[in-house]
Chain A
Amino acid sequence: MILFDQVSKRYPGGNEALSNVNFHLHPSEMAFLTGHSGAGKSTLLKLIALIERASTGSVIIGGKNLNKVSHYTLPYLRRNMGIIFQDYQLLYDRTVFDNVALPLIISGFSSREVKKRVHAALDKVGLLRFEKKYPITLSGGEQQRVSIARAVVNKPALLLADEPTGNLDPDLSREIMDLFMAFNQVGVTVLIATHDIPLINQLDKRIIQLSHGQLNPEKTGNTEQFTVDS
């Protein structure tokens, strides 16, 4: 599902944020991306979401080499991914329902379908009763669940999350992680960047560890180089 092949990323005027990163995340696999602050976790996720592009090497998502994705096909690629941020990225002048509906409206679903699917997604994260509220009236954990509902509402095959529990207390963090585990249970590939080591130690999932832009092979596993046919 996700394949990094000798990927390096150098920001203009900066050091290498990622150097020669190789790893493979299988379909339906769930992994945590860890490392110190500045290790390159966000950068790695941004390469997958095409918010940034690799300086060298290739990132291949679902068989598609991202180097070949143009500005015009990029939106359609992003519709296949659910992306979740530490700061939620909600629209505060729209209701919870409207926020979650956005991906479906962008794809052109009918109003009936939109309603059905938004309700299903909100139900899944336990926020159905808040559909008419504005995000600003919700707690941090609730806002994060709204953003998760938005990320999964069009049933993407891949979920990416960048420090999704960074602003939450341990109990809420655990709730959010359980949600991700539940999505992974039904086959969604999940990659979560976090430095909440105590939390991920409770969960028996693969850990990909970054340090100064490089993968730590012992902890990460599965870093052999792949021959890419695309």
Chain B
Amino acid sequence: MVRGNTSSSRDNTVSSVQLRQLKPSFSSRFKEFFIRHLQVFFYSLGLLSRSPFATLMTASALGIALALPAGLYVILDHASQLSGDMNSINQISLFMKKDTSAKNINTIQKKLEAYPEIAQVKHINRAAALQEFQDNSGFGDALKALKNNPLPDLLVVYPSLTHSDPQQINTLLIELKKIKQVDLVQLDIQWLQRLYAIINIGQRGVLIIGSLLALAVLLIIGNTIRLAIENRRSEIVVMKLIGGTDSFIRRPFLYTGFWYGLLGSLIAVLLVNISLIIINDPLAHLSSLYDNNLFSLGLMGINISSTLLLSGCLLGLFGARIAVGKHLKEIEPK
């Protein structure tokens, strides 16, 4: 089993003596490379499953850290979609001066409907409005006592979908105010702008919280890997003594980091979805109090979920790489 040839002639010229070593062929090494990667991939999972409780604790800590920004993101995402929806049903009320003739109003209506920014203009006749008010308000008799109709004619302008962000609506408002016969332009846009501002702050908040918690994930994984390295110190020494390269020794720890990241983000997906299910019921109830459309956050979309899983795995790999790079150097045979 040891080298078959007995070299009895001793070579005295030192430089001509080469260390000979048994080497696998290139194609064998190439193929083995992938097989070994797969083996280490699952071997590292096996190591984690040997201490399921500790693994689960770490993974849960990662899960919570990842779930927080992910959950906030889901809520914000829906809020901005929602505000988009509301935006598109914006309407602007033009209260006309009382002395404007019906014919005049008709002309203005036609003119406005030709604007590209405007989808539709509805005319609410002052007489019809009064009638409706008398019928529905309960002040019918009191109103009948009035000699003149106090209500103005009203043009309700619906901006087109392509011109419905707050900036464009503001421009349209200025335009509408210039019309001579218009007494008052009214749009309750302030709440919308406030909502936008809140969402904006929220998005930055998610970014900050997300970055901080990503850092926390890196630290947790880094520390876990550091402990794993410490536990396998003697093994690492042996590997180095028999010629293991840094990348060979690093590999199981990188995969361990990967598994932690994957487990953590799976737990995060689970946590976020459970939270959404819990929130959705009362949320639907709340929205039913406002209008007939039931509003629901639904569950996490496939895009957000896969982004979360991917970030988890990458953070795991990255955290492990940093820890391994830092701590492997400190372990050398003595």
A residues with a Cβ closer than 8 A to B are 1, 3, 24, 26-29, 49, 51, 60-64, 72, 75-81, 83, 89-91, 102-103, 105-111, 113, 117, 120-121, 123-124, 150, 152, 154-158, 182-183, 185-188, 226, 228-230
How far, in angstroms, from A1 to B36 measured CA to CA in the complex? 33
B242 close to A157 (CB less than 8 A): no
Residues of chain A within 8 A (CB-CB) of B7 are 27-28, 187
A76 close to B10 (CB less than 8 A): no
User: Which of A60, A120, A157 counts the most B-chain CB atoms under 10 A from its CB?
Assistant: A157
Interface of B is mostly: loop
The distance from the CB of B42 to the nearest CB of chain A, in whole angstroms, is 15
- Choose one: B14, B36, B244; the contact of A63 (CB below 8 Å): B14
B138 at the interface (CB under 8 A from A): no
- Choose one: A61, A78, A121, A123; the contact of B241 (CB below 8 Å): A78
Are A106 and B19 also in contact (CB < 8 A) when A121-B1, A157-B3, A228-B14 are? no
B150 at the interface (CB under 8 A from A): no
How far, in angstroms, from A72 to B244 measured CA to CA in the complex? 10
The distance from the CB of B44 to the nearest CB of chain A, in whole angstroms, is 14
A110 close to B28 (CB less than 8 A): yes
B104 at the interface (CB under 8 A from A): no
Residues of chain B within 8 A (CB-CB) of A77 are 19, 243
Chain A residue, CB-CB nearest to B24 = A109
Q: Could you list 30 examples of A-B contacts with CB < 8 Å?
A: A1-B19, A3-B14, A28-B6, A28-B7, A60-B14, A72-B245, A77-B243, A78-B243, A91-B234, A91-B235, A102-B238, A106-B243, A108-B28, A108-B36, A109-B28, A110-B32, A111-B35, A124-B1, A124-B2, A152-B2, A154-B21, A154-B22, A156-B19, A183-B2, A185-B6, A186-B4, A186-B6, A187-B6, A187-B7, A229-B14
B238 close to A155 (CB less than 8 A): no
The distance from the CB of A85 to the nearest CB of chain B, in whole angstroms, is 8
The distance from the CB of A183 to the nearest CB of chain B, in whole angstroms, is 5
Residues of chain A within 8 A (CB-CB) of B234 are 89, 91
A188 close to B3 (CB less than 8 A): yes
How far, in angstroms, from A29 to B11 measured CA to CA in the complex? 11
The distance from the CB of A96 to the nearest CB of chain B, in whole angstroms, is 14
A79 close to B14 (CB less than 8 A): no
Residues of chain B within 8 A (CB-CB) of A81 are 19
Chain B residue, CB-CB nearest to A82 = B242
- Choose one: B11, B18, B238; the contact of A26 (CB below 8 Å): B11
The distance from the CB of B37 to the nearest CB of chain A, in whole angstroms, is 11
Residues of chain A within 8 A (CB-CB) of B148 are none
- Choose one: A89, A108, A157, A182; the contact of B19 (CB below 8 Å): A157
Closest 9 CB pairs of A and B: A62-B19, A79-B243, A108-B29, A78-B243, A80-B19, A120-B1, A63-B15, A108-B32, A155-B22
Residues of chain B within 8 A (CB-CB) of A187 are 2-3, 5-7
Chain A residue, CB-CB nearest to B26 = A108
B147 at the interface (CB under 8 A from A): no
B178 at the interface (CB under 8 A from A): no
How far, in angstroms, from A64 to B333 measured CA to CA in the complex? 21
B103 at the interface (CB under 8 A from A): no
The distance from the CB of A82 to the nearest CB of chain B, in whole angstroms, is 9
Residues of chain B within 8 A (CB-CB) of A157 are 3, 19-21
How far, in angstroms, from A79 to B29 measured CA to CA in the complex? 15
Chain B residue, CB-CB nearest to A24 = B14
Residues of chain B within 8 A (CB-CB) of A109 are 24, 28, 32
Chain A residue, CB-CB nearest to B23 = A107
Chain B residue, CB-CB nearest to A52 = B334
Residues of chain B within 8 A (CB-CB) of A106 are 239, 242-245, 248
CB proximity to A under 8 Å, residues B287-334: 332-334
Residues of chain B within 8 A (CB-CB) of A228 are 14
The distance from the CB of B80 to the nearest CB of chain A, in whole angstroms, is 51
Are A27 and B17 also in contact (CB < 8 A) when A51-B333, A103-B242, A155-B22 are? yes
B167 at the interface (CB under 8 A from A): no
Are A155 and B239 also in contact (CB < 8 A) when A62-B17, A63-B15, A80-B21 are? no
Residues of chain A within 8 A (CB-CB) of B6 are 28, 185-187
Residues of chain B within 8 A (CB-CB) of A78 are 240-243
Residues of chain A within 8 A (CB-CB) of B332 are 51
